[in-house]
Amino acid sequence: MQAPTRTGSISYVQDYAVRVPFYHDILDLEKMFHTEALTSFNFGGSDLLVEVDDEKVPSAATVMDRIGLRMNVADARLAADALFAKGVKVDYQVHAWGTVAKFRDSDGNLCAFKDDLSFEKQVAEA
C-alpha cells in the first residue's frame, strides 16, 4: 500500500457559492486553488477541500457523506487496485482535474485517494 503524500478533508456541499466565502471570508482560510466546483484551502498543514456534492439524488448516505477523508498518493489507480485486491469496493473516477478513487472504511465513512501530481499542478497553477 502507498503511504499518503498529503492529506485533507473534503466538505461536499450543495450550495457551493455560499460555502466557499464562508471558509475564506469568515474563517480567513487561505485559498490554495479554486475552480467552479472545487476550492482547496490551507487548513493548518493539511487541506480542506470544499466541493460541489456530485450526488444527484440526496439519500441517507449522501447526508452522512458531507465530510470525507482524502489522501494524496503517487498513483490513485495503483492504490485503488491494491484496495480492490483486498476486497474493498472502489469507485475510480477520471476527471479533467485529476483522478480520484472513492471508497469506504470499515465503519462506512467516505474516503478517497487523489493523484498527488494532479493536485500539486492545481496548486501551482492557482
CA gap 13, 103 in Å, rounded: 19
Q: How far is the C-alpha of 107 from the C-alpha of 116, rounded, in Å?
A: 26
Q: What is the pLDDT of residues 16-37, one digit of tens each?
A: 888 898 789 876 889 999 999 9
- Contact between 126 and 34 under an 8 Å Cβ cutoff? The reply is yes
Residue 121 lies in a domain: yes
Asked, for residue 1, whether it belongs to a domain, the answer is: no
Using CA atoms, how far apart are residues 42 and 47, in angstroms rounded to an integer?
Answer: 5
CATH of residue 18's domain is 3.10.180.10
Largest Cα–Cα distance of the chain, in whole Å?
44
* Secondary structure (DSSP) of 64-79: HTTEEEEEEES-HHHH
In a domain? residue 112: yes
Give the residues across from 125 on adjacent strands: none
Residue 30 lies in a domain: yes
What pLDDT, on a 0 to 100 scale, did the predictor assign at position 80?
92
Domain housing 36: 6-125
For the chain, the domain total comes to 1
Residues whose CB falls within 8 Å of the CB of residue 84, separated by 6 or more in sequence, listed in order? 90
The per-residue pLDDT for 64 is 60
Per-residue pLDDT of 53-97, as tens digits, reads 766 555 555 556 677 778 888 999 999 998 899 888 999 999 888
The confidence score (pLDDT) of residue 44 equals 74
Question: pTM, whole model, 2 decimals?
Answer: 0.64
Asked if 116 and 8 touch (Cβ cutoff 8 Å), the reply is no
**What proportions of the chain, in percent to the nearest 5, are helix, strand and coil?**
30, 40, 35
Question: Is 124 in a helix, a strand, or coil?
Answer: helix
Q: Is residue 61 part of a domain?
A: yes
Residue 33's pLDDT is: 93
